[in-house]
Amino acid sequence: MTTYADRPWRALYREGQPVEVEPEFPHLLAMWADAVRRAPDQDAIRYFDATLSVAELDAASDALAAALQERGFTTGDRLAIYSQNDPAFVIAMLATWKAGGVAVSVNPMYKERELAHVLADSGARALVCLDEVHPVAVAALAAGSGVDVVITFSGRDFQTRDDERVLDPVGVPPADGAENLLGLLARYAGQRPGPVAPPGPDSEAFLVYTSGTTGDPKGARLTHANFVVNARNYREWMQLGPDDAILATAPLFHITGLVGHGVLSLLLPAPLVLGHRFHPGVMVDAIREHRPVFTVGAITAFSALAAVPGVGPDDFASLTKIYSGGAPVAPAVADRLETVLGGYVHNAYGLTETSSITHIVPPGRRAPVDPVSGALSIGVPIASVRSRIVDDAGADVAVGELGELLIAGPQVAHGYWNRPDVSAEAFPGGELRTGDVCFMDDEGWFYLVDRKKDMIIASGYKVWPREVEDVLCSHEAVHEAAVVGVPDDYRGETVTAFVSLVEGASLAETELIDFCRDRMAAYKYPRSITVVAALPKTASGKILRRELRA
Taking only the tens place, the pLDDT of each residue in 471-509 is 888 888 988 888 999 888 888 889 999 998 988 888 889
Does 455 score more than 80 pLDDT?
no
What average pLDDT does range 515-532 have in this prediction?
92
Instruction: Write down which residue in 143, 174, 199 finishes a domain.
Output: 199
| pLDDT single digits (tens) 70-89 | 999 999 999 999 999 999 99
Tell me, yes or no, whether 16 lies in a domain.
no
Q: Is the pTM of this model over 0.75?
A: yes
Q: What per-residue confidence (pLDDT) applies to 11?
A: 47
Q: What per-residue confidence (pLDDT) applies to 503?
A: 80
Which is more confidently placed, 465 or 369? 369
Task: Answer whether 166's CB lies under 8 Å from 85's CB.
Answer: no
- pLDDT band, residue 151 (cuts 50/70/90): very high
What average pLDDT does range 357-371 have in this prediction?
89
What average pLDDT does range 125-149 have in this prediction?
93
Which is more confidently placed, 320 or 22? 320
CATH number at residue 98: 3.40.50.980
Which is more confidently placed, 541 or 44? 44
- pLDDT band, residue 452 (cuts 50/70/90): low
Tell me, yes or no, whether 328 lies in a domain.
no
197: number of Cβ within 10 Å? 8
- pLDDT band, residue 143 (cuts 50/70/90): confident
**Minimum mean pLDDT range among 2-6, 168-172, 311-315, 333-337:** 2-6
Greatest CA span in the chain, whole angstroms?
Answer: 73
What average pLDDT does range 239-268 have in this prediction?
96
Which of 308, 225, 294, 307 has its CA nearest to residue 260?
Answer: 294
Beta-sheet strands, E only, within 7-141: 13-14, 17-18, 43-47, 50-53, 78-82, 102-106, 126-130
Tell me, yes or no, whether 180 lies in a domain.
yes
**Helix orientation angle between 465-473 and 509-517, rounded to the nearest 10 degrees:** 110
| Three-class secondary structure assignment of 505-535 | CCCCHHHHHHHHHCCCCCCCCCCEEEECCCC
Q: What per-residue confidence (pLDDT) applies to 274?
A: 98
> CA-based angle 94:76:152, to the nearest 5?
50
Q: What per-residue confidence (pLDDT) applies to 211?
A: 64
Q: What per-residue confidence (pLDDT) applies to 370?
A: 86
Q: What per-residue confidence (pLDDT) applies to 336?
A: 81
Which is more confidently placed, 224 or 536? 224
Q: Which domain holds residue 141?
A: 52-199
Does 372 score more than 50 pLDDT?
yes
Instruction: Write down which residue in 176, 199, 222 finishes a domain.
Output: 199
- CB-facing half-sphere around the CA of 216: CA atoms within 13 A: 10
Does 212 score more than 70 pLDDT?
no
The total domain count for the chain is: 2
| pLDDT single digits (tens) 158-174 | 999 999 999 987 777 77
73: number of Cβ within 10 Å? 23
CATH number at residue 484: 3.30.300.30
Give residue 469's identity as a one-letter amino acid code: E
Percent of the chain past pLDDT 90, that is, above it, reads 65
Helix ranges restricted to H, 329-419: 331-341
- pLDDT band, residue 327 (cuts 50/70/90): low
Task: Answer whether 211's CB lies under 8 Å from 337's CB.
Answer: no
- CB-facing half-sphere around the CA of 34: CA atoms within 13 A: 13
Percent of the chain past pLDDT 70, that is, above it, reads 93
Average pLDDT of the chain? 89
- pLDDT band, residue 542 (cuts 50/70/90): low
Does 351 score more than 90 pLDDT?
yes
What average pLDDT does range 264-276 have in this prediction?
98
Tell me, yes or no, whether 479 lies in a domain.
yes
Q: What per-residue confidence (pLDDT) applies to 490?
A: 81
Q: What per-residue confidence (pLDDT) applies to 129?
A: 97
What average pLDDT does range 149-165 have in this prediction?
96
Tell me, yes or no, whether 475 lies in a domain.
yes
Euclidean distance between CA atoms 327 and 20, whole angstroms: 27
Instruction: Write down which residue in 153, 173, 199 finishes a domain.
Output: 199
Q: What per-residue confidence (pLDDT) applies to 93?
A: 98
Tell me, yes or no, whether 464 lies in a domain.
yes
Euclidean distance between CA atoms 295 and 246, whole angstroms: 6
Q: By three-state DSSP, how is residue 30 classified?
A: helix
Measure the N-to-C terminal CA separation of the chain; round to a whole number of Å.
Answer: 53
